[in-house]
Structure 1
Amino acid sequence: MQVANISLGKTVKPHIVLTIGDPAGIGPELVLRMLSTPAIAARAQVTLIGNHPALLRAAAVTGLPPLVASDWLHIAQWDRMEQDFTPGVAAKENGNFILESLTLGTRLVTSGQADALCFAPLNKGAMRLGGMQEEDEMRWFANLLNYHGPCGELNILDNLWTARVTSHVALKNVSAMLTPEGVCEGIRTLTEAFRSAGKAHPRIGVCGFNPHNGDNGNYGTEEGDVIAPGMVLAAEQGYPSSGPFPADTIFLRARNGQLDGIVTMYHDQGQIATKLLGFDIGVTVEGGLPIPITTPAHGTAYDIVGQGLAKITAMENAFELACKMAQGRRQS
């Protein structure tokens, strides 16, 4: 993979590497619309890892002019810049593009040429066709970075942040995978992410696992056997939390302003609530990794590619959070 050397120097503004994600999805449209807003130029230096044919299609759909390099926008020239892709199709070719663009973006951050990575939506099916062996991009990033410490996806919805102890696994396997150490890691990862974005003392709530929090052991004992000990372990390490609270009411506490973040036990326990509260605005953070990485929480939306219907709010939120985390990284 070849790319021109990029060196924009240190500036007051954060330097964000931005990729278009899946070139066959809505990512090119989102990125073009976002970069066409004046606020972005004032907010950050940007290195764009994109694809010429996909961005030209996005320009035709949105009615916006094609992107050109400027004093704040550098457009990376790399091997897949001119390759064409079939819109709305998950294929090996766009999977290769996704993985190689993320690899390039990660290297620009780890080498010190940029401060954070933000990417438009990906398609896991295409990524697996392109060679990804891991369960998701979170684990793929960890392997790429040779990072073996605790990490996990965080979902951000305005002022509500969520983490989960288990992620992309079968629901029947969740109970056996819950451990006090895993609960502790979820609390720690979420707290550290808050701190990296400038919130020193987040109020973290922890979700129970069973109906009605197990009803004193009548419906399960994970709350007392696993979750509570994990909370104690986290508190001993300097990461306090409250709970565990029943899964069907904990998000009401957050909505009422009592919590800043929630640690859930499995994927849909938090995803259903956050996507119901704000599907078009949510952000995913690859929490715990050595570098800041953010993306919209929604997918590639193959069914609306080329129709001009894609909303950019989540993309803008992901970019802004990347900027905040980049600034926190510089300060630390």
Structure 2
Amino acid sequence: MTPRLAWVLGDPAGIGPELVAKSLVNTDMGAVCRPVVVGPMWLLKRGMQTANVAAAATRCAADKLAEVPTGAVPVVDAGWPEQDFPCGTLSAAAGKLTIEMLRVAVDMARAKQVDGIIFGPLNKEALSKGGNPHKDELHLLAEWLGDTEVGEINAAAGLVTTRVTSHIPLKDVAANIRPDRIMLAIRMLHTTLRETGAQNGKIAVAALNPHAGEHGLCGTEEIEIIEPAVARAQAEGLPAAGPFPADTIFLRARKGEFQGIVIMYHDQGQIATKLLGFDQGVTILGGLSVVTTTPAHGTAFDIAGKGVANPGAFQEAVRLAGRMAAARTSGKRS
């Protein structure tokens, strides 16, 4: 059965409502999932006005989705009062509303009312001002779901990456390269590749230091930490190899040698990934018990409200979530 997916509108001052509106009228999306918009009806209507589109949408309760007429998109609106969110303006109120929309979507997923979640772009500073006690939305959702081993995964242009360290200062990276973190990244990436239907499940692990440390001449993390972790992964039957120099690892992957890459720190992989496919880039919230994806780009405050936002990454996030949700459902049945 086609999975039912929650589409969360995202930060109300950003491009999220516009992306959702444009995607609702894309006929290709109907073959991927049965969308359920989560957020205020008035905010969805603003998104439609910005996008200059019209979609049949009906407000309904989360437990009444089956009663929505054919051809209409259900909108789960928790009764949020209408507010004025100037486009492109960061605010605590926008962050608070975003958190509330996410919570409704997560509760629906836990109740098995939806099979996965796609959310429009969020703003981490707004979330923090709005009450998020964590550094990002991933760990907020992980707390709600009771998941502990989580990490961010990125997909673009047929390549999937994850990282051992993420949003920490560069000066702290080396101290946080640990065997357990490398193993977690490899396992999550392997699971994600299977769930997204990747044909070549080979995983390359990047080195930390230039030229993979040059046998200890330029750092010892490869010898002491990364190589033993890769060997452990191979002993578990995981298709991992490395460590490989970071300046050539993406070239090899682009030629088809690998379909997944474990990187050591944020910019080591994000620069290459966004160059490969910024308008199609997707972030997967790895390790969550509920399939959750989002566009890899941000709220684009500079173009919010102008009707020019590209919905490509949001729609690719829907496609990936649809495949992953279908794979998990199939796995439970088998």
1:14 paired to 2:14: no
Do the aligned partners of 1:202 and 1:260 also contact (CA within 8 Å) in 2?
A: yes
Separation of aligned partners in 1, 2:211 and 2:221: 12
Equivalent residue number for residue 227 of structure 1: 226
1:137 paired to 2:137: yes
Tell me by how many angstroms 1:80 deviates.
1.9
Equivalent residue number for residue 205 of structure 1: 204
**Secondary structure of residue in 2 paired with 1:134:** coil
Tell me by how many angstroms 1:50 deviates.
2.4
Tell me by how many angstroms 1:133 deviates.
1.6
Do the aligned partners of 1:52 and 1:82 also contact (CA within 8 Å) in 2?
A: no
Separation of aligned partners in 2, 1:84 and 1:51: 12
Change (3 A) 1:83 1:206: same
Tell me by how many angstroms 1:268 deviates.
0.7
Structure 1 residues 251-266: aligned runs within 5 Å:
251-266=250-265
Correspondence for 2:12 among 2, 7, 23: 23
TM-score (norm 2): 0.92
Change (3 A) 1:211 1:283: same
Once the two structures are superposed, residues 171-223 of structure 1 have per-residue CA deviations (whole angstroms, 9 ceiling, x without a partner) of: 10010111111111111110011122234760100000001111111110111
Structure 1 residues 150-299: aligned runs within 5 Å:
150-199=149-198, 202-299=201-298
Do the aligned partners of 1:206 and 1:264 also contact (CA within 8 Å) in 2?
A: yes
Identity %: 42
Equivalent residue number for residue 7 of structure 1: none
Once the two structures are superposed, residues 229-274 of structure 1 have per-residue CA deviations (whole angstroms, 9 ceiling, x without a partner) of: 1112222223121111101100000111111000000111110111
Consecutive unaligned residues of structure 1, counting only runs of 5 or more, are 1-11
Structure 1 residues 48-63: aligned runs within 5 Å:
48-63=37-52
Equivalent residue number for residue 23 of structure 2: 34
Do the aligned partners of 1:121 and 1:298 also contact (CA within 8 Å) in 2?
A: yes
Do the aligned partners of 2:41 and 2:75 also contact (CA within 8 Å) in 1?
A: no
In the alignment, residue 258 of structure 2 is paired with which amino acid? L
Separation of aligned partners in 2, 1:110 and 1:138: 16
1:123 paired to 2:112: no
Separation of aligned partners in 1, 2:55 and 2:316: 23
Do the aligned partners of 2:25 and 2:55 also contact (CA within 8 Å) in 1?
A: no
Equivalent residue number for residue 4 of structure 1: none
Separation of aligned partners in 1, 2:31 and 2:200: 29
In the alignment, residue 165 of structure 2 is paired with which amino acid? T
Do the aligned partners of 1:31 and 1:120 also contact (CA within 8 Å) in 2?
A: yes
Tell me by how many angstroms 1:51 deviates.
2.7
Separation of aligned partners in 2, 1:67 and 1:246: 51
Separation of aligned partners in 2, 1:240 and 1:226: 18
1:101 paired to 2:90: no
Tell me by how many angstroms 1:277 deviates.
1.5
Once the two structures are superposed, residues 116-173 of structure 1 have per-residue CA deviations (whole angstroms, 9 ceiling, x without a partner) of: 011110000100001112121111111111112x221000013100000011111100
Tell me by how many angstroms 1:64 deviates.
1.1
Equivalent residue number for residue 63 of structure 2: none
In the alignment, residue 39 of structure 2 is paired with which amino acid? G
In the alignment, residue 171 of structure 1 is paired with which amino acid? L
Separation of aligned partners in 1, 2:22 and 2:129: 29
Equivalent residue number for residue 34 of structure 2: 45
CA RMSD of aligned residues (A): 1.5
Divergent runs of 4+, >4 A: none
Separation of aligned partners in 2, 1:13 and 1:57: 28
Change (3 A) 1:121 1:328: same
Separation of aligned partners in 2, 1:233 and 1:18: 39
Separation of aligned partners in 2, 1:126 and 1:255: 36
Identify the range of structure 1 (259-268 vs 177-186) with the bigger mean alpha-carbon deviation: 177-186
Equivalent residue number for residue 65 of structure 2: none
In the alignment, residue 107 of structure 1 is paired with which amino acid? D
Separation of aligned partners in 2, 1:183 and 1:256: 24
Tell me by how many angstroms 1:66 deviates.
5.2
Consecutive unaligned residues of structure 2, counting only runs of 5 or more, are 59-68
Do the aligned partners of 2:156 and 2:280 also contact (CA within 8 Å) in 1?
A: yes
Do the aligned partners of 1:23 and 1:51 also contact (CA within 8 Å) in 2?
A: no
